[in-house]
Amino acid sequence: MTANDASAGELAAVPPLPGAIDVHAHFITDRLRAAMQAAGHGEPDGMPAIPDWDPEAALTHMDAVGVRTAMLSVSSPGVDFGDAGATRELARSVNDEGAELVRAHPGRFGLMASLPLPDIPAALAEAEYALDRLGADGIVLKTHYQGRYLGDPHYEPLMDLLDERRAVVCLHPTSPQCWQDTSLGYPRPMVEFAFDTTRTVAHLIMSGTLRRHPGISFIVPHAGAARGKRERRPLVAVTTTPHGQHVVWAGPLGYREPALHGHIWTIVEHYRISAMSAVPTVYSVLAQVPVNADISSLRFAVVGASALPDAVRTAFTRHTGVEICEGYGLTEATCATARSFTGDDHRPGSVGQRLPYQQVKTALVDPQGNWLDLPPGSPGVLLVKGPTVFAGYVTGHDPDGVRLDSLETIRDGWLNTGDLARVDKDGFSHLLGRAKDLIIRGAHNIDPGAIEDALLHHPHVTGASAVGRPDPQAGEVPVVYVTLAPDAPKALTGPDALIAHARAFLHESAAVPKDVIVLDALPVTAVGKPTKVPLRMRTLKRTVLDELAAADLPSDPNSVGCHLDGARLTVTLPRPASSADADRITAALGRYTFDWTFTQV
């Protein structure tokens, strides 16, 4: 909404922000308007018309919403319309007029100068002129110029200059070159700008541009434009967020702060938080925290990092009245591949539909390592492809930069996520577990997720994690670790009762767990993501201790160790003084396939 479009009622309804600085304020000069119209941009980026702008109306709007200073910049499509000479002249013109507005209204306007890109020599000259002569507060850069995004080596001389000057750079999106195929006929600021911002931010990060130029401060004003509804309300989060709105941080420990859970609803009420983000284990806990405050501002909750059990979703929504929106991604694909929907569009069991420009499919990895495509609906390893997939892991450095190695995770642009899934005919992904988490019982490949889902259907089970327990005949058999609700009756939640419950939901007898162990909490990583490694270690150590006890050998739990050796777990135990005892241990543990070794006492 521009100042000239806003009614008095609309302005009065906006809560004030005393002393705020608006870093995303656009202005239009007469010369820029004429150039846009001459170049065929009378409806810029699909918007109905070139907006009107004048400084007095802008100041009225700023006063109404409590903005002290507006940093003026040129919006998309910018100043470059194909003629290099005309672009240089237009950039100089808008910068000079912007500087004059700053001088005429001291303290009320600032200037983010435009550059005549993609002409690098001209851009360098204009940047020096704007920063040194005009005293511009920073530079506005479009997310791409003629299809070249900002992490491209083409821009390195400019980045060097901006880094040396410790410049502030405002990243402004523009229409991608493929907008005719992707914008669905809607104005691109609504549909495309958030994703073009993501594309250039990802390019800046993955190309190493940010690392090489730490002196540049980037402002990313359009990063929150893809949200379902744009509001000036806070978001509570414990990880970095791209949204350009108010954020309430949970502190250094995030949701691992024990005191936070009991105060979360009063925090929501105090800050009028509209959305929150957490991992499934947090929502499982919050579903049991009494709602002792007004949380009507909380419109939805976002979940990621691991699949959300339906039991946790149902319990949280029933308890709070707030729906959960699930997403899927991984670091190697810039953390955003799919998103789910709330309300009537929610698909139970799905982590969501692919985002624009992303591709997803499943494949079978055969014994020779070949990736064989599977038809829609078939379970397999989930593959993703798109501009957000990374180039590889950094394995070293050489004079030309970093050395990257995909470690066989990328082929023809497709990234093997390591997740087991099925993709339905509408492109919704349904996670089934991790490939490395498969429990292999004889000839059966057992999906631990199916066992966990079966137990999570139990009304008193709040968490479940299935792992394989070593077995001398079958290789592995499934066991499950669970957490229970505080009021869980013992008669219904003993191991036998829980195994019987799981059996009723599982379609194959091989998947029925051999044991169910109740814990106070399931293990999570430092960022709250569920991890099975401690459970595998615990299970492996228990197996070894049982074998020692069966052989009438010392079985001190503190003497048996377990550690990760690469991707495999290795058990260590002290070598007994008696060679006969050592032989008995070797014979007992030799029946298993896990790695183990003696340590010297």
Mean pLDDT in the chain?
A: 84
pLDDT of residue 7: 38
Q: What is the mean pLDDT of residues 446-462?
A: 89
| CB distance 551 to 524 below 8 Å | no
| CB distance 523 to 537 below 8 Å | no
With bands split at pLDDT 50, 70 and 90, how would you rate the model's confidence at 72?
very high
Cα(305)–Cα(280) distance, integer angstroms: 8
pTM of this structure: 0.47
Contacts of 146 (CB under 8 A, 6+ apart): 118
- Beta strands 235-237 and 275-278 are parallel
Q: Does the pLDDT value for residue 96 go beyond 90?
A: yes
pLDDT in tens, 251-268: 777 777 778 888 999 999
| DSSP conformation letters of 115-164 | --TT-HHHHHHHHHIIIIIS--SEEEEESEETTEETTSGGGHHHHHHHHH
Cα(277)–Cα(293) distance, integer angstroms: 19
Q: Does the pLDDT value for residue 239 go beyond 70?
A: no
For the chain, the helix, strand and coil percentages under 3-state DSSP, each to the nearest 5: 35, 25, 40
- Beta strands 217-219 and 168-172 are parallel
C-beta atoms surrounding 349 within 10 Å: 18
Identify which has the larger pLDDT, 591 or 360: 360
pLDDT of residue 135: 92
pLDDT in tens, 282-299: 888 898 899 999 999 998
Q: Which of 24-28, 154-158, 378-382, 427-431 has maximum average pLDDT?
A: 154-158
Q: What is the mean pLDDT of residues 100-129?
A: 94
C-beta atoms surrounding 344 within 10 Å: 5
pLDDT of residue 238: 41
Domains defined along the chain, listed by start: 8-219 (3.20.20.140), 235-432 (3.40.50.12780), 438-518 (3.30.300.30), 533-599 (3.30.70)
| CB distance 219 to 167 below 8 Å | no
pLDDT in tens, 299-320: 889 988 766 777 778 889 999 9
Q: What is the mean pLDDT of residues 395-408?
A: 82
Task: List, in sequence order, every beta strand (DSSP E) within 229-358.
Answer: 235-237, 247-249, 275-278, 300-303, 323-328, 338-339, 352-354
Q: What is the mean pLDDT of residues 327-348?
A: 83
Share of the chain above pLDDT 70, in %: 88
